Amino acid sequence: MSDELSITFHGAAGTVTGSCMEFFHGGKRLLVDCGLFQGSRTLETLNRNPFAFVPKHVDAVILSHAHIDHSGLLPRLVAEGFDGDIWCTAPTSDLLEFMLADGGRIQESDAARRNRRRDRAGQPPFDPLYTEQDGLAAWRQTRPIELEKWFEPTPGFRARLWNAGHILGSASVELEIGGVHLLCAGDLGPEHKAFHPDPQSPAGFDHVICEATYGDRKRDHLTIKERRRLLRAEVKAALDRGGNLVIPVFALERTQELLLDLAALITDKQMPAVPIFIDSPLANRATGVFSKYAGSLEDLDGTVFDHPAFHFVEDVNASIRLNSVSGAIILAASGMCEGGRIRHHLKHNLARRESTILFVGYQAEGSLGRVIVEGATRVRLSGEDIAVRAQIRRIDSYSAHADQDGLLAWLEARQPIAGSLFLSHGEAAAIEALRHLSQSREFAATVVAPALGETYRLPAGQPAKRLKTGDPVLQAAIGRDWQNSYADFAANLKSELAQIEDAATRAKAVAAMRAVLERYQQARSARRVRSRP
């Protein structure tokens, strides 16, 4: 078995987060990515599961890019014994210094916040997944490597990185292992994206692993000028309402693209120079890394981020003072509203009819952002029920991912694929749509939609063979969970009860719901009695 090359999917299989692939050959173990699961609380609990491998037995890691769903478990991997190199591009390494440390701070602050909540009284303390110091320790193990240059991450494994066009520093990973030629796409950017050239990599492989985030969707292919016209219309409508325009952003890339466009619109007098607050210390540091590499990026000069309308917010108290502003633009992380300062701004703006919440990024199933985008009238935020009265808007043209047409074009350019095409990093509908199209175009001998925990043998020139089925417990964590349903139920319960015609009937409805819970408690007690020796 040790002489056969195998791949195991530990994340981003049937879901868009938690990217982690394990390649094993000749007793050596290489990870491509080691990311955080993001979305529902149930999915996020997978981050606390024991690793499916022994961290100190991992020989090396190759990181496709710095997004947390690809890098966010590196601090835990290092804390539990991994002491090898983390290979990545130089911009990725620079970004990780801030990304991983910030991730640790968020873990620590979220743990403290949860422990303070009244609805957790009497429960065991909630520990952070890792700390800021763990994040910095992982960053110190990064080893920058140039694009298109062969290197040996561990004996018997050759690798080369190619521009993926997704975000600053992003790469596809080409591998040669035991006579097998492979390509891991990583996350692929769309054509003509701001800052970066189109994705590049060679053709002709035994096996290809490709993302499928937008495998079921086509977008209008807009120029940067056309995209700015869309943004201008949204900004004008939001400011005309008299309230704030709150934009949940990913600290890395999405923030910088928006700043690029907002600065251009103000400079060209297409919008007023209203205050624009960038309320994310991580986004502020990532913007500094963009400035460092401005000379090698498209559409960018070194001064655009110094626009006088931009106010970079660092201090927590300064963030809180934004509660009193109106008619401003507030950019805050995280992009899917699962943590960070955006939740604070949502809490103070969602219930205001004059406010606008503009989504400009992908919202994973089970995330708060997805719940809001799909039309929730009330949401639960940090234990409180919040009415959604603000205007909810969305622009898809800022996506850092290739759409269905872009993915198909990229796969066509990788031909021939002699063995198997694996479709990962997507929800079920997106993967199925791309799988069907890939099969009809005969992109590979077989097209595989791997499940979490599955292992495949990867022979040269032949289709992959499944060696181990996926873990149903892991797969059950994907998608909306009971906590999403509970939050929706609890947030709307009072208003729905109020719509019942009279007090007596409302009391009966409450009693009926309580009776359901009591039956479950009685059944559980009966099972415990029967199980006693």
As given in the structure block, the two tokens for residue 357 are 């919440």
pLDDT at residue number 270: 97
Spatial distance between the Cα atoms of 35 and 37, rounded to a whole number of angstroms: 7
Spatial distance between the Cα atoms of 107 and 68, rounded to a whole number of angstroms: 12
Average of per-residue pLDDT across 92-105: 95
Residue 374: strand, helix, or coil: coil
472-505 pLDDT, tens digit each: 877 788 866 556 566 566 656 677 777 787 888 8
pLDDT at residue number 115: 82
Instruction: Assess contact for 96 and 125: CB atoms under 8 A.
Output: no
pLDDT band at 1 (very low <50, low <70, confident <90, very high): very low
Higher pLDDT among residues 411 and 380, named by residue: 411
Q: What is the mean pLDDT of the chain?
A: 91
pLDDT at residue number 489: 67
Shortest CA distance to 16 belongs to which of 336, 405, 392, 395? 336
Average of per-residue pLDDT across 152-169: 97
243-265 pLDDT, tens digit each: 999 999 989 999 999 999 999 99
Spatial distance between the Cα atoms of 509 and 512, rounded to a whole number of angstroms: 5
pLDDT at residue number 118: 65
As given in the structure block, the two tokens for residue 471 are 């873990």
User: Per-residue pLDDT for 117 more than 80?
Assistant: no
Spatial distance between the Cα atoms of 321 and 512, rounded to a whole number of angstroms: 45
Shortest CA distance to 38 belongs to which of 485, 445, 308, 363? 363
User: Per-residue pLDDT for 297 more than 60?
Assistant: yes
pLDDT at residue number 304: 86
- Letter for the amino acid at 337? C
Residue 259: strand, helix, or coil: helix
Distance of CA 127 to the CA centre of its chain: 22
pLDDT at residue number 204: 98
DSSP secondary structure string for all residues of 385-413? EEE--SEEEE--TT-SS--HHHHHHHHHH
Regarding beta strands 356-359 and 391-394, do their DSSP bridges make them parallel or antiparallel, or are they unpaired?
A: parallel
pLDDT at residue number 125: 85
End-to-end alpha carbon distance in the chain: 44
Phi, then psi, of 350 in degrees rounded to 5: -60, -35
- Letter for the amino acid at 128? P
Spatial distance between the Cα atoms of 81 and 54, rounded to a whole number of angstroms: 8
pLDDT band at 32 (very low <50, low <70, confident <90, very high): very high
Query: By percentage, how much of the chain surpasses pLDDT 70?
Result: 94
Q: What is the pTM of this model?
A: 0.86
Least confident of 263-277, 322-336, 403-417, 479-493: 479-493
Task: State which H helix or E strand residue 211 sits in.
Answer: strand 205-211
179-216 pLDDT, tens digit each: 999 999 999 999 888 899 999 999 999 999 999 999 99
Task: State which H helix or E strand residue 384 sits in.
Answer: strand 384-387
What architecture is the 6-218+400-475 domain classified under in CATH? 4-Layer Sandwich (3.60)
User: Per-residue pLDDT for 290 more than 50?
Assistant: yes
pLDDT at residue number 490: 63
Spatial distance between the Cα atoms of 263 and 269, rounded to a whole number of angstroms: 10
Residue 358: strand, helix, or coil: strand
pLDDT at residue number 223: 87
User: Per-residue pLDDT for 86 more than 80?
Assistant: yes
Q: What are the residue ranges spanned by the domains of the chain?
A: 6-218+400-475, 224-394
User: Per-residue pLDDT for 2 more than 60?
Assistant: no
52-84 pLDDT, tens digit each: 999 999 999 999 999 999 999 999 999 999 999
Least confident of 142-146, 204-208, 376-380, 446-450: 376-380
Spatial distance between the Cα atoms of 235 and 88, rounded to a whole number of angstroms: 37
Regarding beta strands 6-11 and 20-25, do their DSSP bridges make them parallel or antiparallel, or are they unpaired?
A: antiparallel
Task: State which H helix or E strand residue 257 sits in.
Answer: helix 254-267
User: Per-residue pLDDT for 152 more than 60?
Assistant: yes
User: Per-residue pLDDT for 361 more than 90?
Assistant: no
Phi, then psi, of 81 in degrees rounded to 5: 125, -10
pLDDT at residue number 509: 81
Answer CATH for 224-394 from 3.40.50.10890, 3.30.1130.10, 3.90.110.10, 3.40.30.10: 3.40.50.10890
User: Per-residue pLDDT for 132 more than 50?
Assistant: yes
pLDDT at residue number 192: 82
Higher pLDDT among residues 480 and 14, named by residue: 14
Average of per-residue pLDDT across 263-282: 95
Residue 163: strand, helix, or coil: strand
Average of per-residue pLDDT across 220-229: 90
